[in-house]
Every structure is written in structure tokens, then in C-alpha cells.
Amino acid sequence: MSTSTRRSAPPTGSALAGETVIDRLVEANRHYAAGFTDPGMGARPVLQVAVVACMDARLDLHAALGLELGDCHTVRNAGGVVTDDTIRSLTISQRALGTCSVILIHHTGCGLEKLTEDFRHELEMEVGQRPAWAVEAFRDVDQDVRQSMQRVRTSPFLPHTDDVRGFVFDVSTGLLREIDPQF
């Protein structure tokens, strides 16, 4: 579908014939950009906090935490687990962009609770190469939050590890439950 034949209203519902989801997103961006005004803010988060959370589509972090654009850095991945790449992002966030606090958010009903490291072996059988990354599956969400807090607190790359707290977001109620790191 050419640009000239696209609909002018923001895309909703299913894609038009021949239109992909990405086409819909790009069209939505055009509508967004038409009314966009540069907020004039820098990359440093106003609240000096980094949020590490699962990529689950049910988590609207800004709404759940009362955050506005520019308030925080957000690092999301499968499970919200603290991996080497998460430490990389947090290190840049703290050392180059001024964050001092880290909030970790896992959630109920996470897909990683149903996976095992066998997932990597299945991928290897399918594509002929084992992924270099770990699945980071877990059975106990509370314990995984504790492990993630420990990884942040013990990283030699992070200068700010005093204000690190972990939570489980309940996808049914929208409430956060804080996890005691010393259980």
C-alpha cells in the first residue's frame, strides 16, 4: 500500500489488506509527530531512577508508577532479570546519565516461569546453533527478584547500589508487592 493511499486516521484494529503491523505503527508515528512538540529535556532522568522490568505487554510501567516522560530510564527484557546487558544499561544510566536508584519489577504469571534451559537446546536443534545467552528461567518469582537485587548490589560497575528495591507486580490487581532481599 503506498503512502498516498493510506488512511488518514490513526490506525486501530486489524491491519488493512496488505498492511503490516509495522506499517500501522509507522502510520501512528506520523500522526504522533504531526502534533509533537520538542519537550526540551535532556537524556538525564528527572527522578534519577532506573526501572528494570519484564517486557510483558500487560505492564504499563509509566501508568503503574505514576511516571511522566523524562522521569526515568526503563530497561526491559524477558522476565525483567538482571543480565550482563542489564548491568551494561544500568552502568551507562548511572555513570553517564546520573541515576542513583534502581527499582526492579517482575510480575505474576510470567512466561519465564514456564520455560527451562531446554528452550536453548530446542533452539539449537532447530537452527543448528546454541544461543550464547541463558534463558534465565525461574520457578519462584520472589527468589528471582532477590537474585536480581543481589546482582545489582554486587556489580563492581555500579557506583550507586544503596537504593535498590525489588517488587512483584500483580497483573490481576495492578499492585506492587515489595520483596525482602534477606528472605
Give pLDDT tens digits for 119-158.
999 999 999 999 999 999 999 999 999 999 999 999 999 9
Dump pLDDT digits (tens) for 58-79. 999 999 999 999 999 999 999 9
What's the pLDDT at 116?
92
Grid cell at residue 22 = 509495522
Amino acid at 128: G
Q: What is the helix (H) or strand (E) element at residue 178, kind and residue range?
A: strand 176-179
Distance of alpha carbon 148 from alpha carbon 104, whole angstroms: 8
HSE of 130 in the Cβ direction (CA atoms, 13 Å)? 8
Q: How far apart are CA 137 and CA 130, in angstroms?
A: 16
Distance separating alpha carbons of residues 48 and 93, to the nearest angstrom: 9
pTM of this prediction exceeds 0.85: yes
Q: What is the DSSP letter of 101?
A: E
CA dihedral for 151, 153, 154, 155, sign (positive or negative):
positive
14 pLDDT band (50/70/90 cuts)? Answer: low
Give the pLDDT score at 13.
55
